[in-house]
Structure 1
Amino acid sequence: MKKKALGAMALAGTTTLALTGCGGGAGGGGGEGVIDYWLWDANQLPGYRQCAEDFNEANPDLTVRITQLGWDDYWSKVTNGMVAENAPDVFTNHLSKYPDYLRFDQLVPLDDVDLDFGQYAEGLADLWVGQDGSRYGVPKDWDTIALFYNREMVEEAGLSDEEMAELTWNPDDGGTLEKAIARLTVDRNGVRGDEPGFDKDHVEVYGLGLTASGAGMGQTEWSWLTGTTGWTHTNENPWGDRYNYDDERFQSAIAWWSGLIDKGYMPRLETTVGASMPDNFGAGRAAINANGSWMIGQYAGYDGIDLGIAPTPIGPEGHRASMFNGLADSIWVGTDDLEGSRKWVEYLGSPACQDVVGAQGVVFPAILSSTEKAVAAFEERGIDVSAFTDHVSEGTTFLFPITSGAAQVEGIMKPAMDAVLTGQADVSSLTQANERVNALFE
Structure 2
Amino acid sequence: MSARSRRVLALAATSTLVLGLTAACGSSGSDSAGGKVTLRYGIWDAVQKPALQKSIDAFEKAHPNITVKIELNAWAQYWSKLQTQMAGRTAPDVFWDHVGYFPQFAKQGVLTDLSPYIKADKVDLSVYDPKLTAGWKQGDKQYGLPKDWDTIEQVYNKTMLKTAGLTQDDLSGLTWNPDDGGTFVKALQKLTVDKSGKHPNESGFDSKNVKQYGLALASPNGQTDWWDFATQNGCKLQDKAWGKWTINQPSCVEAIQFVQDLRLKYHVAVPAAVTNTPNGAALPAVLARKQAAVVWDGSWDLSAYQTSLKGNFGVALLPSGPAGQGTVYNGLSNALYAGSKHPKEAWELVKWLGSEQSEKIITAAGTVWPSIPTLNKDFVAYWEKQGVDVSAFSKGAEGTTIGYPLTTSSATYNVKVLDPFNQVWLGQQTPKKAADTVNTESNAAITD
TM over 0.5: yes
Contact 1:120–1:367 under 8 Å retained in 2: yes
Are the structure 2 counterparts of residues 269 and 29 from structure 1 closer, same or farther at C-alpha, using a change threshold of 3 Å?
farther
1:72 CA displacement: 1.2
Deviates more, 1:264-273 or 1:46-55: 264-273
1:411 CA displacement: 2.1
Give 1:232's aligned residue: 236
Counterparts in 2 of 1:24-43, with a 5 A limit? 29-32=29-32, 33-43=37-47
- Kindly indicate whether residue 445 of structure 2 is the aligned counterpart of residue 440 of structure 1: yes
Give 1:416's aligned residue: 420
CA distance in 2 between partners of 1:117 and 1:337 (Å): 23
Give 1:291's aligned residue: 297
- Kindly indicate whether residue 317 of structure 2 is the aligned counterpart of residue 311 of structure 1: yes
Give 1:427's aligned residue: 431
CA distance in 2 between partners of 1:192 and 1:405 (Å): 43
Contact 2:409–2:443 under 8 Å retained in 1: no
1:148 CA displacement: 0.5
1:34 CA displacement: 0.7
Which amino acid is the alignment partner of residue 414 of structure 1? L
Give 2:373's aligned residue: 368
Secondary structure at the aligned position of 2:417 is classed as helix
1:345 CA displacement: 0.3
Contact 1:200–1:265 under 8 Å retained in 2: no
Give 1:20's aligned residue: none
Which amino acid is the alignment partner of residue 254 of structure 1? I
Cα deviation digits, residues 141-192 of structure 1 (max 9, x gap): 0111110111221222232333112111122222111111122112222222
TM-score scaled to structure 2, two decimals? 0.88
Give 2:254's aligned residue: 252
CA distance in 1 between partners of 2:425 and 2:300 (Å): 26
Give 1:332's aligned residue: 337
- Kindly indicate whether residue 205 of structure 2 is the aligned counterpart of residue 202 of structure 1: no
1:11 CA displacement: 5.3
The one of 174, 179, 184 equivalent to 2:186 is: 179
Deviates more, 1:418-427 or 1:61-70: 418-427
The one of 111, 130, 139 equivalent to 1:122 is: 130
Which amino acid is the alignment partner of residue 187 of structure 2? A
- Kindly indicate whether residue 241 of structure 2 is the aligned counterpart of residue 266 of structure 1: no
Deviates more, 1:104-113 or 1:256-265: 256-265
CA distance in 1 between partners of 2:394 and 2:228 (Å): 15
Q: Calculate percent identity across the aligned residue pairs.
A: 32
- Kindly indicate whether residue 99 of structure 2 is the aligned counterpart of residue 95 of structure 1: yes
Are the structure 2 counterparts of residues 124 and 199 from structure 1 closer, same or farther at C-alpha, using a change threshold of 3 Å?
same
Secondary structure at the aligned position of 2:69 is classed as strand
1:301 CA displacement: 2.9
Cα deviation digits, residues 80-124 of structure 1 (max 9, x gap): 111222211110110011112122211111112332110001311
CA distance in 2 between partners of 1:261 and 1:280 (Å): 16
Give 1:402's aligned residue: 406
- Kindly indicate whether residue 175 of structure 2 is the aligned counterpart of residue 168 of structure 1: yes
1:261 CA displacement: 1.8
1:10 CA displacement: 5.2
Cα deviation digits, residues 375-403 of structure 1 (max 9, x gap): 2212222221221111233x322222211
Are the structure 2 counterparts of residues 305 and 110 from structure 1 closer, same or farther at C-alpha, using a change threshold of 3 Å?
closer
Cα deviation digits, residues 247-297 of structure 1 (max 9, x gap): 111111111111222143222223231111221111111110001111122
Contact 2:14–2:411 under 8 Å retained in 1: no
Give 1:15's aligned residue: none
Contact 1:10–1:79 under 8 Å retained in 2: no
Give 1:380's aligned residue: 385
Deviates more, 1:293-302 or 1:322-331: 293-302
CA distance in 2 between partners of 1:62 and 1:121 (Å): 29
Counterparts in 2 of 1:32-111, with a 5 A limit? 32=32, 33-111=37-115
1:209 CA displacement: 0.8
Contact 1:184–1:193 under 8 Å retained in 2: no
Deviates more, 1:259-268 or 1:145-154: 259-268
Cα deviation digits, residues 46-72 of structure 1 (max 9, x gap): 111011100000001000101222111
Secondary structure at the aligned position of 1:9 is classed as coil
CA distance in 2 between partners of 1:304 and 1:109 (Å): 43
Give 2:308's aligned residue: 302
